[in-house]
């Protein structure tokens, strides 16, 4: 759910009927007869008038998208769409396998440590405003493995330990820069990596902002494969792959693709996911992920001991942080 001002609302009345005289379909925090708005229904047009007031109704989280002085009106609208799309995707992953405590939103005014000279070579004003305002999946501590957002793909947390200090920092980590250059991928001041593979075996999410309509590219540099979609379509495409188990998690730190696993194992995991309710509202996340990891370890010939300790640590992190979100 999204909240504007004091109450989560979507005014669906005409201007003459609404007590706050809000335009039809416009979010209005002054409306006295609010209708709750599910996150998946939020569109950039809902934020035109009251952008400064919206924040997710998740405990301990506050987020705003200020009117940006350094970008055009078109970029402002695109940024709003991007924040909504990323938030929706991350909350979807939380409903499936990530701990709710992993999601963090920008404070009022944006992430304070991200500044114009943050990168060398520098990024555009638009890219910097994006990074200052989007939510992130927490990078965790240095000794912890990062959470994965897709097969072999870790979220880039530009507020995390990799980017501590005033910088300037490298915007793109190796091996992305070498591989991108080898196959002619444009990594410029107008692009930013939203998620990356730590090795050459995995995927990258690369946001392109130079064109009027922003695009996100899904890259596997090892196999020279690229898919390119508008922002909202990109994240919806990935959600559908998780729903159909074309891509699925083993645990928060490991996501695999079905076409890279033996058919018998895929059939076993698919049966288990469905038995625990995925992708319905009755999905029992904690139980399911425990059994999936156990089956994976058995199939791979691994011991459960280390993973049990790791799972306990993740569960403790959730308990001490925030309760799981309800979907």
Print pLDDT tens along the chain (327 aa): 343 333 333 333 343 443 333 333 333 323 333 334 444 444 444 433 333 333 333 333 334 444 444 555 556 678 999 999 999 999 999 999 999 999 999 999 899 889 888 888 889 999 999 999 999 999 876 667 899 999 999 999 999 887 877 667 877 765 565 666 666 677 788 999 999 988 778 899 999 998 889 999 999 988 888 999 999 999 999 999 999 999 999 999 999 999 999 999 999 999 999 999 999 999 999 999 999 999 999 998 886 655 555 555 555 554 454 444 433
204-219 burial, b for 16+ CB within 10 Å, e for fewer? bbbbbbeeeebbbbbb
Residue that is written with structure tokens 């995995």 in the block: 202
pLDDT of 188: 84
User: Alpha-carbon distance 11 to 13, whole Å?
Assistant: 6
Would you list the domain boundaries of the chain? Answer: 1-57, 66-257
Looking at residue 30, its pLDDT comes to 32
- Determine how many CB atoms are found less than 10 A away from the CB of residue 87: 21
C-alpha to C-alpha distance for 151 and 219, rounded to whole angstroms: 11
Q: What angle do CA 6, 12, 14 make, to 5 degrees?
A: 115
Tokens encoding 261 = 């696993």
Q: Residue 75: what pLDDT?
A: 64
Is the separation of the CB atoms in 256 and 250 below 8 Å?
A: yes
Q: What is the pLDDT of residue 162?
A: 78
Query: Using one digit for the tens of pLDDT, what is the confidence trace for 138-148?
Result: 987 666 789 99
Distance CA 20, CA 53 (A): 16
User: For residue range 100-142, what is the model confidence (pLDDT) as tens digits?
Assistant: 999 999 999 899 889 888 888 889 999 999 999 999 999 876 6
Strand partners, 255: 249
What is the three-state SS of the chain?
CEEECCECCCCCCCCCCCCCCCCCCCCCCCCCCCCCCCHHHCCHHHHCCCHHHEEECCCCCCCCCCCCCCCCHHHHHHHHHHHHHHHHHHHHHHHHCCCHHHEECCCCCCCCCCCCCCECCCCCHHHHHHHHHCCEECCCCCCCCCCEEECCEEECCCCCHHHCCCCCECCCCCCHHHHHHHCCCCCCCCEEEEEECCCCCCCEEEEECCCCCCEEEEEECCCCEEEEEEHHHHHHHHHHHHHCCCEEEEECCEEEEHHHCCHHHHHHHHHHHHHCCCCCCCCCHHHHHHHHHHHHHHHHCCCCHHHHHHHHHHHHHHHHCCCCCCC
What's the pLDDT score for residue 152? 94
Give the Cα separation of 57 and 322 in Å (integer): 13
Nearest CA among 95, 127, 80, 130 for reference residue 232: 80
């Amino acid at each position: 759910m999204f909240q504007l001002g004091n109450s989560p609302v979507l005014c669906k009345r005409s201007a003459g009927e609404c007590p706050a005289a809000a335009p039809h379909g416009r979010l209005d925090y002054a409306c006295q007869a609010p209708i709750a708005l599910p996150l998946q229904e939020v569109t950039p047009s809902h934020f035109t008038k009251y952008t400064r007031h919206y924040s997710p109704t998740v405990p301990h989280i506050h987020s705003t998208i200020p009117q940006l002085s350094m970008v055009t009106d078109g970029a402002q609208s695109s940024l709003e769409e991007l924040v909504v799309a990323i938030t929706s995707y991350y909350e979807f992953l939380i409903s499936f396998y990530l701990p709710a405590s992993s999601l963090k939103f920008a404070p009022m005014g944006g992430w304070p440590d991200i500044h114009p000279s943050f990168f060398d070579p520098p990024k555009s004003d638009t890219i910097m405003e994006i990074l200052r305002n989007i939510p992130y999946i927490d990078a965790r501590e240095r000794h912890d493995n990062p959470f994965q957002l897709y097969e072999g793909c870790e979220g880039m947390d530009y507020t995390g330990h990799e980017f501590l200090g005033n910088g300037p920092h490298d915007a793109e980590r190796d091996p992305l820069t070498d591989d991108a250059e080898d196959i002619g991928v444009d990594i410029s001041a107008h692009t930013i990596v939203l998620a990356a593979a730590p090795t050459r075996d995995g995927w990258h999410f690369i946001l392109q902002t130079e064109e009027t309509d922003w695009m996100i590219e899904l890259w596997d540099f090892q196999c020279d494969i690229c898919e390119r979609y508008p922002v909202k379509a990109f994240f919806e495409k990935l959600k559908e792959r998780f729903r159909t188990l074309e891509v699925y998690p083993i645990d928060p730190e490991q996501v695999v693709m079905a076409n890279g696993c033996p058919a018998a194992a895929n059939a076993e995991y698919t049966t288990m996911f469905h038995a625990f309710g995925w992708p319905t509202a009755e999905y029992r996340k904690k139980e399911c992920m425990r059994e999936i990891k156990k089956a994976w370890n058995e199939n791979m010939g691994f011991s459960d001991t280390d993973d049990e300790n790791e799972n306990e640590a993740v569960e403790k992190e959730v308990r001490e942080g925030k309760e799981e979100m309800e979907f």
